[in-house]
Amino acid sequence: MRASSVRAWAFVHTWSSLISTLFMLLLCLTGLPLIFHHEIDGWLGIGDAPAALAGQAPDLAPAPADRIAGNALRDHPGQVIQYIGWDQHEPDTVFVILNAAADAPPNDAAVTLYDATRGTRLGPSGSAFMQVMLRLHVDMYAGLPGKLFLGAMGLLLVAAIVSGVVLYWPFTRRLAFGTLRPGRSRRVAWLDLHNLLGIVTVAWLAVVGLTGAINTLSEPMIGMWKAETLGRMIAASPAGPPAERPASLDTIVAHAKAAAPGMVPGFIAFPGTPFATPRHFGVFLRGTAPLTARLLQPVLLDAGTGAVADTQRLPWYLTALLVSQPLHFGDYGGMPMKVLWALLDLVAIAVLGSGLYLWWARRRRPVPALRVRPA
């Protein structure tokens, strides 16, 4: 590798890293508790279903969705239901998302958990602490521009990863793999550590970075799908006022299940919400196998009669979004995977920190590691 191309790659590596480092540190630090959000909220006593705790849930039949919806509206006067859903990992609870209006912004929504068998209110779905971590991680309290900005930082991270892998060659080609020289100067010791930690975790970091960047595009993707599918649905439905008396939720779920055999409901989107039309309920069903449970099949049903109006597969970009999510969250391999995810996150923090140190140290004394040695 020529010295000039090493300098060019080093320039890319330095600046793509420097610009994104602060935000990457924020993402790594807020992501750490988010890996364990379920456990942390559990310790804080959020969402414990008494029936499940007593081990008596399996015998009881699930509460009708209509009863849970009625309880939720009674518990939250002045609010409307946007979504009711069933988390595949939480068979004992049903989540209800309420907001000031059907089309009110998602950040204003309150997610409340209900007992799946008794239909009684259990409490908010997450602690205030996890909510702050989530907002800092997802959009830094800046809405869609914040998300897209973090997505751009994710792309800079990918540039830093690629240039880092290229630079790994000139920096380590005279060394055995994994050489650490703690006895040498502080700069050399940190450089060795930066190279080792970076190169062994590069595949993991690239996957988490890319899937995170994909997730920042979820809002535009859903908007695109809505324009394609829902726009056609609204155009096809007859004109007139929205249904005065909505159909029974249990009828709607039964019709949706019949339209998507072998699938179970993931969530119901109420008329007027972003995942439905003003005149239709949207029921999103999922499979029951590990991979198909990630994929959703939308069924749109007439809000007044509950008749199935339309069902078709999600477009490829929403399928890609849904499959990319577990690869970003690390929540699909049990507790050992979460612990490994957290340890790899800590390694990423060490790579960021050592990189920052190397940049700072190099500003004071230029490049000893790359000086040309006499043959």
Partner 1 sequence: MRGGRTKGRDGWRAVFGVPLAVGAATLAGLVAALLHEGAGWVAAWAALGLPLALIAWHAGKACLPRNRPARRT
Tell me which residues touch partner 1 (CB under 8 A): 1-2, 165, 168-169, 172-182, 196-197, 199-204, 207, 290-291, 294, 323, 326-327, 332-334, 336-337, 340-341, 343-344, 347, 375
Q: Which is nearer to partner 1, 70 or 178 (CB)?
A: 178
Is residue 171 within 8 A of residue 27, CB to CB? The reply is no
Residues 204-227, buried b or exposed e (16+ Cβ, 10 A)?
A: bbeebbbbbbbbbbbbebeeebbe
Provide, rounded to whole angstroms, the least separation between the CB of residue 171 and partner 1: 9
Rounded Cα–Cα distance for residues 78 and 357 (Å): 54
Provide, rounded to whole angstroms, the least separation between the CB of residue 179 and partner 1: 8
Q: How far is CA 296 from the centre of its chain?
A: 16
Which two tokens mark 72? 């939720």
Q: Which is nearer to partner 1, 234 or 291 (CB)?
A: 291
Provide, rounded to whole angstroms, the least separation between the CB of residue 268 and partner 1: 26
DSSP 8-state secondary structure symbol assigned to residue 170? H
- Phi first, then psi: what are they for 32, rounded to 5°? -60, -55
Provide, rounded to whole angstroms, the least separation between the CB of residue 365 and partner 1: 23
- Phi first, then psi: what are they for 93, rounded to 5°? -130, 155
Which two tokens mark 168? 């790994």
Q: Which is nearer to partner 1, 173 or 363 (CB)?
A: 173
Provide, rounded to whole angstroms, the least separation between the CB of residue 182 and partner 1: 6
Q: Which is nearer to partner 1, 200 or 254 (CB)?
A: 200
Helical packing angle, 202-215 and 143-172, nearest 10°: 160
Query: Pseudo-torsion of CA 289, 293, 299, 303, nearest 10°?
Result: 120
Q: Which is nearer to partner 1, 119 or 164 (CB)?
A: 164
Provide, rounded to whole angstroms, the least separation between the CB of residue 259 and partner 1: 27
- Helical H runs in the chain? 3-35, 37-43, 50-53, 65-75, 128-138, 143-172, 186-200, 202-215, 218-225, 231-236, 249-259, 316-329, 334-364
Q: Which residue has the tokens 């509206």?
A: 73
Q: Which is nearer to partner 1, 1 or 60 (CB)?
A: 1
Provide, rounded to whole angstroms, the least separation between the CB of residue 363 and partner 1: 27
Q: Which is nearer to partner 1, 170 or 278 (CB)?
A: 170
Secondary structure element (H or E) that encloses residue 298, with its range: strand 296-302
Q: Which residue has the tokens 């540039």?
A: 159
Which residues does 52 contact at the CB level (< 8 Å), separation at least 6?
Answer: 92, 93
Provide, rounded to whole angstroms, the least separation between the CB of residue 262 and partner 1: 18
Q: Which is nearer to partner 1, 99 or 195 (CB)?
A: 195
Provide, rounded to whole angstroms, the least separation between the CB of residue 220 and partner 1: 25
Q: Which is nearer to partner 1, 227 or 291 (CB)?
A: 291
Rounded Cα–Cα distance for residues 148 and 150 (Å): 5
Which residues does 328 contact at the CB level (< 8 Å), separation at least 6?
Answer: 208, 211, 212, 214, 215
